[in-house]
Structure 1
Amino acid sequence: MTKILLLGANGQVGWELHRCLMTIGEVIPTTRKEIDLANDQNIVDAISAIRPDLLINAAAYTAVEKAEDEPELANQVNGYALEAISQCAKKYHFPLIHYSTDYVFDGTKGEPYTEKDTPNPINAYGRSKLLGEQILQVSGVPYLIFRTSWIYGMRGKNFLLTMLKLAQECTEIKVVNDQYGIPTWSRFVAQVTADVLVRGIDDLNNYFESHAGVYHLTPSGATTWYEFAKAIFAVARHNLIQVLPISSDEYPTKAKRPKFSVLKPNFQKLYSGGDCLDWLAVVKLVIEA
């Protein structure tokens, strides 16, 4: 049975991956306690002991605001750790799956970004994620990079759960209405990953070598945080909540956010998956489940 080493198993995407991958192979879930991406020697020792057939890296430094104050740590976890992981992948001959972000773009294009567009991150978090992409792309290791955006789910810390909590505490909420992106369900990411792996599980290295590259993994469509909040309250039937649109200037943050970081989904190039669900349809599935 294929031995799959999963990093970041307690995160939003990692938790869903663990459950989606169990029918594909032997999943070895790890958290920062077992493999700390801030410690290269720990990475090498742990992977050398496990010697997986495939490594999926769902671990990341995701504190966008905090990254402005500790860019070195963000760069290590999201970037330089990929060097240590790649060295192990070369030594033990296994491929990698890695997740990145829409924040590698500056948001000035004005239309959905494709994998061929040149990244230009405008905050420390985005720069650290781009660093990881670049390290992996020149590593010589078979890999797939999935860029995704605005991750949410029914566990952890995310926008959807924050809105549902505020609905119990407030009657009026102000939400930014000039940043565009695509809300993406963590289970959607995990399920697509599993669907892709099923097609290459019998010869992973050959499959990854022939399909290596960056793929945008999101539902279709686009929205703002304001419209996302309105959709959440509508589907959850919190009809008494008044949502007020505000500009980014009215809600200043330490880290700059791209105004338009919509990704054009292209993960279907890896398999004939049919039409991509619209983000709103996915939100309805999550809340109404």
Structure 2
Amino acid sequence: MALRVLLIGSDTSLGLALTAHLQRWGRHELETVSMTSSRWKSERHAKKVVRRSNSDIVIDARIEGAIDSGELITELDTDRCHWLAKSCQRNGGCYLLVSSARVFAGDAGRLYREDDTPDNSETVGQLLARAEELVRSTCPRHLVLRLGPVFSARGVNVLSHMLEQLMAGGQLVLNNQQRGGPIESVDAARVVAGIIDQLSAGAEAWGTYHYCSPDATNCYEFAEVLFACASQFSEFSADAVQLAAADAPEIINRSLHCGRIRNTFAIKQVPWRGFVADAVRDYFYHRQ
């Protein structure tokens, strides 16, 4: 059965990839709302958007997109999650909140599981945890999908940030102490679309899920792979990237355990390295 999908944050890196994926396959009806259009000041505005769409599922990619683009999130962003969750609950729909591995501090020394308590004391971590809890307590038919960092040729994210600074002739100072499992936006879209397809087939597997690539990396290693691919399209200095001295000996590792999404939806992890060449090629294509 086709679902009516309302995608909030359609101009984020994930939103752009998911829009293209859903439109290409045509299995579901899609309505989109951009980041700018979703900056509601009151619950009434959010409620009106959900009611008018008559959607079966709301996919909220706003917060994840803001975090990966380097934007600050505020309490108003979490309030909007609450408003959307209440609207979905009233209308009998389901709500998929795309969250982030940054709910965790990264000092556990192991992969984080879905039932681990969010422990990131930074503001972004606390706001993410609050948004998740508001969704869980408000809308029984919910899914919280925590992702690793999303990179893409389109939108604002770590890939575009690094390449833009490189093209401008600047130097990047990167930290090798922060590790995680990055995800290309096409792969992230595959995951979200796979969940939608199974919900449309009657699955009611509500709850929290994790997805990231299986090969954890740090910023410096990611940049090395990225710039090796970029060298095919543009000349740049070999010393454009400098590795910063770590301020502390501890490694921050926000890699996620992804067994639940595999066991529930049969979604397997895919390594991030295989996506970099295509993403870099698309980045330079869109710059022409």
With normalisation by structure 1, the TM-score equals: 0.84
CA distance in 2, matches of 1:34, 1:64: 17
After superposition, the CA RMSD in angstroms is 2.5
Q: Give how far 1:102 is off.
A: 1.1
Aligned to 2:60: 57
Which among 215, 225, 228 is matched to residue 231 of structure 1?
Answer: 225
Aligned to 2:197: 198
Compared CA separation, residues 32 and 284, structure 1 to 2 (3 A):
closer
Q: Does 1:241 align with 2:238?
A: yes
Aligned to 2:285: none
**SS state at 1:138 partner:** helix
Aligned to 2:114: 115
With normalisation by structure 2, the TM-score equals: 0.84
C-alpha contact (below 8 Å) 2:69/2:156 kept by paired residues: no
Compared CA separation, residues 213 and 240, structure 1 to 2 (3 A):
same
Compared CA separation, residues 271 and 66, structure 1 to 2 (3 A):
closer
Aligned to 1:13: 14
**SS state at 2:67 partner:** coil
CA distance in 2, matches of 1:170, 1:241: 12
CA distance in 1, matches of 2:32, 2:87: 18
Q: Give how far 1:103 is off.
A: 0.9
C-alpha contact (below 8 Å) 2:69/2:157 kept by paired residues: no
Compared CA separation, residues 151 and 63, structure 1 to 2 (3 A):
closer
Aligned to 1:180: 179
C-alpha contact (below 8 Å) 1:97/1:143 kept by paired residues: yes
CA distance in 2, matches of 1:244, 1:50: 48
Aligned to 1:213: 207
Compared CA separation, residues 63 and 234, structure 1 to 2 (3 A):
closer
Compared CA separation, residues 176 and 89, structure 1 to 2 (3 A):
same
Compared CA separation, residues 273 and 100, structure 1 to 2 (3 A):
closer
C-alpha contact (below 8 Å) 1:167/1:241 kept by paired residues: no
Q: Give how far 1:171 is off.
A: 7.7
Aligned to 2:131: 132
Compared CA separation, residues 2 and 163, structure 1 to 2 (3 A):
same
Q: Could you give the per-residue CA deviations for residues 61-98 of structure 1, whole angstroms, max 9, x where no partner exists?
A: 4388764xxxxx61221x22222212211221111111
CA distance in 2, matches of 1:265, 1:239: 37
Select between 214-223 and 262-271 the one with higher mean Cα deviation: 262-271
C-alpha contact (below 8 Å) 2:174/2:242 kept by paired residues: yes
CA distance in 2, matches of 1:35, 1:220: 33
Compared CA separation, residues 167 and 36, structure 1 to 2 (3 A):
closer
Question: What are the ranges of 5 or more consecutive residues in structure 1 without an aligned counterpart?
Answer: 68-72, 251-256
Equivalence map 1:1-289=2 (5 Å): 1-22=2-23, 23-60=26-63, 61-62=66-67, 67=72, 74-77=74-77, 79-170=78-169, 173-203=172-202, 207-208=203-204, 211-237=205-231, 240-242=237-239, 243-249=241-247, 259-266=252-259, 267-274=261-268, 276-287=269-280
Question: What are the ranges of 5 or more consecutive residues in structure 2 without an aligned counterpart?
Answer: 283-288
Aligned to 1:254: none
Q: Give how far 1:113 is off.
A: 1.1
Q: Could you give the per-residue CA deviations for residues 35-58 of structure 1, whole angstroms, max 9, x where no partner exists?
A: 334432210122122221111111
Q: Give how far 1:241 is off.
A: 2.2
The alignment covers a number of residue pairs equal to: 271
CA distance in 2, matches of 1:80, 1:287: 36
C-alpha contact (below 8 Å) 2:70/2:157 kept by paired residues: no
Aligned to 1:70: none
